[in-house]
Amino acid sequence: MDGLFAGLPPIGAILGIAGAALVGGVSRGFSGFGAALVFVPLASAAVGPRTAVPVLALMECVACLVFLPNAWRHAARAEVAAMSGGAICAVPLGALILAASDPVALRWVMTGLVLVAVAVLGSGLRYRGPGSVPLTLGVGAAGGLMSGAAMLGGVPPAVFWLGRNAPAVVVRANMNLYFAVLTVAVTAAFAWRGLIGMDSVWFALAAGPAYGAGLWAGSALFGRASEATFRFAGIALILVAAVLGMPLWDPLTGR
């Protein structure tokens, strides 16, 4: 028993990842996406991306079950199926990138991707053309690659679906159903590459309650938000997290 608890991570790292989980959970519960965009940059500042990314995958395995019934009722299921199919095919390549990449360099890349996503979403630039199966598969593949590398698989589909002028409840349901499928593939890929260890399990157990509280708070806020507020709040939260998660601040955090 003593040997088991001797492997516990440092308390500072646990608090850092729990704080990131709380904020990420609020974004996820409110918008149906954004957990990784918020959690990964912040948690990576505390424990590095190779630990932070699998932790989120483990927490999402539980979170997806909570949102699945409502997502199934409201989502455009055929489009989500095509999107998820493309993502699943690309996840293993993303996991290879995560396993082989320099942690600091990967954090800078992740931060850059998040900032690009925020710029696209905030500018009003959207894809407004007709949907098609090849296009949906391609967007899904981009999401799968980014999910395997950094659990940022929500960026491409979020940009795609937010630009289709669908009601917020449909966008949120699409994202929740997409993540339910994608999380299974990502977690399996991480296990295959040996990226899930005892540290990941401990961090997930420690941060799980904070993530759950964030999901509950975000879901409550969604019921009170207008369409405009829904989009603005998600973008603002993602931007703040990207800036705070930059490796630029490592001297201040002791990393």
Residue 135 predicted with pLDDT over 70: yes
Domain ranges for the chain, please list them. Answer: 10-247
**How does the average pLDDT of the chain come out, rounded?**
82
Distances (CA, A) of 45 to 17, 59, 81, 145, 248: 9, 18, 34, 22, 10
Residue 140 binned pLDDT confidence (cut-offs 50, 70, 90):
very high
Confidence (pLDDT) at 253? 52
Residue 91 predicted with pLDDT over 70: yes
Distances (CA, A) of 104 to 98, 101, 113, 204: 12, 9, 14, 22
Mean pLDDT of 97-106: 82
Does residue 42 contact residue 245 with C-beta atoms inside 8 Å?
A: yes
Write the pLDDT tens digit of every residue in 29-60.
887 877 877 888 788 888 888 888 899 999 98
Query: Following CA atoms 10, 208, 75, 231 in sequence, which dihedral angle do they give, to the nearest 10 degrees?
Result: -60
Distance CA 57, CA 132 (A): 29
Distance CA 255, CA 252 (A): 8
Mean pLDDT of 3-10: 59
Distances (CA, A) of 30 to 109, 219, 225: 26, 5, 9
Does residue 246 contact residue 41 with C-beta atoms inside 8 Å?
A: yes
Give how far the C-alpha of residue 241 lies from the chain's centroid of Cα atoms, to the nearest Å. Answer: 12
